[in-house]
Amino acid sequence: MTDRVLNNINTQTRRILDLQEQLATGQRVNRPSDDALAARRGVAARAEITKNEQYLTNITSASPHLLESETSILTIVDNQRRAYELTLSGANGTMSQTQRDQIAIEINQILEGILVEANHVTNGRYIFGGTHTLAPPFVETRDPDGDITSISYEGNDDKIKITISDGITVGINETGADVFTPTGPDGVNIFNMLIDIRDNLRAGDTELLQDRLEELDLAQDQLLVSTARLGAVQNRMDRVDANTRLTNTQLELVLSDNIDADFADVMVNLNAQENAFQASLSAGARVIQPSLLDFIR
């Protein structure tokens, strides 16, 4: 009878301790032995949430690269429009050579500005160098007067790729070769084109300037295609980001349903368990009341 009373009291004590632990941690399952199936579901949900959070981190860290690449290219697009207007004016046969020389000065400044954008840096990395991001991708050669005579590409054609979801990897950069110096039949070397326009203006060659207008149109399309590719990647990342956040919200609910404690339910059970514990103590006191003195009497 004494062993049974002590076992009952110990059982009630363990139950009270379990409920107190649930109140302290806010979790119904604190170890696999509490509920093996729920613990397994909770571990799986936590692992999935952690993996998704890494995908979200990848997307967040890549977004500035995409946005600044797009901003730089759009700045160059504006410069290209201005170069078109200036070239069209310079091709006018009624314009004086002095006026063409003045236009050539502005074209030269546009060339310098585009070179700066082509060597744009984000977070200490050159964004148009492919995976060669620690050194300027474009290196210029200048004449004794300081004017640019040629620009070479020192980067590579590799894409910087990140994983944004299970089995989904995207390239987040436009290489300098794609944007400024493509080698395809319809590609326009933007730097060489502007150098030629400047030199044609200085030479007063209106026929060649007329031909440059078509190159400028092709170059503009080339730049807009690059921005379209960047925008498509950004839109895809935004959609994946939204879907991943929604998935994590649902996983948090699964985790909560399987692991978290219901405070109201725990309080009710704790009060009931404490009453049962007091009843066990009272019953035990009556059961094991006889002592050695009782037998002596």
Give backbone dihedrals phi and psi of 205, rounded to 5 degrees, phi first: -90, 90
Quote the pLDDT of residue 289.
Answer: 63
| Residues 156 and 175 sit within 8 Å (Cβ to Cβ) | yes
Tens of pLDDT, residue by residue over 251-280, are: 988 877 777 666 676 677 767 777 777 777
Distance CA 2, CA 8 (A): 10
Mean pLDDT for back-to-back runs of 10 residues, the chain (297 residues):
77 74 71 75 88 95 93 95 95 90 96 96 92 95 94 94 94 94 87 96 92 93 95 95 94 79 68 75 69 60
Contacts of 251 (CB under 8 A, 6+ apart): 45, 48, 49, 52
Quote the pLDDT of residue 293.
Answer: 61
**How is residue 186 written in tokens?**
């319809």
**How is residue 8 written in tokens?**
């009952």
Whole-Å CA distances, 47 to 30, 81, 237 = 17, 51, 22
Helix, strand, or coil (residue 140): strand
Distance CA 130, CA 172 (A): 10
Distance CA 137, CA 117 (A): 11
Question: What is the pairing mode between strands 121-122 and 125-126?
Answer: antiparallel
| Residues 181 and 152 sit within 8 Å (Cβ to Cβ) | no
| Residues 131 and 119 sit within 8 Å (Cβ to Cβ) | no
Rounded to 10°, the helix 36-90/97-118 angle is: 170
Quote the pLDDT of residue 45.
Answer: 87
Instruction: Give residue 218's identity as a one-letter amino acid code.
Output: L
